[in-house]
Amino acid sequence: MGISIWQLLIVLGIVALLFGTKKLRGVGTDLGSAIKGFKSAMKEEETKPTLEDKDPASLQQKSESAETDSKAQNEHSKSGQ
């Protein structure tokens, strides 16, 4: 029930006759450029710092919580000895 190679070639030939090879080549080029742009945007999004990383107030809170955590760990280790 699948499409054979011959049927695919016939459909491709009809499409080439209807639109012309230059127009099909242009569509392929545009599609390739769109895919490349999408991939590069995805890579930029992964490496882009989050808004929380840019916010000075959140950085201050993170450093304060890290100091509090380290003090609590030091006190806990001293009391365990």
Predicted pLDDT of residue 81:
47
Q: What secondary structure does DSSP assign to 22-47, as a single string?
A: HHHHHHHHHHHHHHHHHHHHHHHHHH
pLDDT, one tens digit for every residue, the chain (81 residues): 688 999 999 998 999 899 898 888 898 899 999 999 999 998 888 887 665 555 555 555 555 655 555 555 555 555 554
Q: How far apart are CA 70 and CA 63, in angstroms?
A: 11
Q: Tokens 């280790």 correspond to what residue?
A: 77
Q: What is the pTM of this model?
A: 0.42
Q: How far apart are CA 24 and CA 18, in angstroms?
A: 10
Counting DSSP H helices and E strands in the chain, the numbers are 4, 0
